[in-house]
Structure 1
Amino acid sequence: MTDLPAVPDPRDMRVSNDDRERIARVLHDSMAEGRLTVTELEERLDKVYAAKTFGDLEPVTRDLPVANQARAVGMPQPVASPSHRIGGRGTSSSAVAIMSGTDRKGVWTVPPTFTSIAVMGGVEIDLTEARFEDAETTIQAFALMGGIEIYVPEDVTVQVNGSGFMGAFENSVRDQAQPRPGTPLVKITGLAVMGGVEVKRRKSTRQKSKEIEE
């Protein structure tokens, strides 16, 4: 009787970029629910993006309630919609720089209304790794002899409606009038007086990693 070939362990199968992104979304949701700290999230994300097999991903979600679904190795998994960015409580409602500089970046949650003021100073608002408390967010930007830079990732729709007086309110992001299904909408408004507000795109580190791998 002919011996049957050995069945490979599913945990030894190579993971794809979509598999890594799926697990990353699980971790972001767990952080928003208070199951993980920001430090724990960053540590686990490092392991996710360094993972080569499904077995490498197992320990990352083992102690989370969704671990069984996330560890369904060898089974097709639906890719969550970009709405994984929506949820949680706002961690900061303003950024003010008066003759100084400040920023909001990294992993943070944006409330429905966020105010940024720069008076003879500079403010940087980076939404690349941010979550949003609501599906629609308004950022009010006011610059007086100062500058405000707002970086928006590609999976967030932007509507800009600001004015400049002896200054500039510049928008280098040209989105459609209505948000794409499942994506957060960020409305940016305000005034630049003898200063500048600039809205532009920035790719996330994960998007850059995927492009390099491809």
Structure 2
Amino acid sequence: MIKALIFDVFGTCVDWRSSVAREVAAVLPGVDALAFATAWRAEYDPAMARIRDGARGYVPLDDLHLENLDTVARAFGVRVPDRWALNAAWERLDPWPDVLEGLVALQAQAIIAPCSNGSIALMTRLARYAGLPWDCILGADLARDYKPRPEVYLASCAALRLAPAEVMMVAAHNDDLAAARAAGLATGFVPRPEEHGPGQERDLRAESDWDIVAADFRDLARRFAALCGG
């Protein structure tokens, strides 16, 4: 029996691309806001990789985002008037249209929580902004490491005092689910074909036999109920 669902957040629950671009446009009106947001996000994984590989100690994602903002601003040849204010754009991301209804339906069946690379502070403020009804905040800060390292998934399970097999990881990214499955968790896939905008080529469909493959979060709630015999 699955007793908890933990969720990837950026891209799976919220539309980071359009939301960050909106904030960039307000602060840097002369810049291609979508291109800037995309470039900022592109620095995300390389920054975490240095920590996962042991080349750098754990640094919360808030600080990595700020460092990455400076990198992208230099590349675009612009000066950001208030770096900290724009960096908080990652706390003001809009949920996909199906997310809130789906999460409420899922919360009636199991514990729900983020398992994000975002810090506890970031995830808390984002939840307040977007209305995400989490039971608690889990993820990278607990493990002091970044997905897809197994410690991140296992730390979230341990915090709930549940075995990995009692927890389902939900994500729009096949590599996230592959890592969760390798750590012993159940898996649920929900595609977000617009996460990266027009021309997205990856994660358009499930690439393995995940325990649940759903069209959206509403469908996920229905399928989860059927899986659990509800």
TM-score (norm 1): 0.32
Structure with the higher strand share, 1 or 2: 1
- Between structure 1 and structure 2, the one with the greater Rg is 1
Ranked by relative contact order (alpha carbons within 8 Å, sequence separation 6 or more), the top structure is 2
- The structure that is helix-richer by fraction is 2
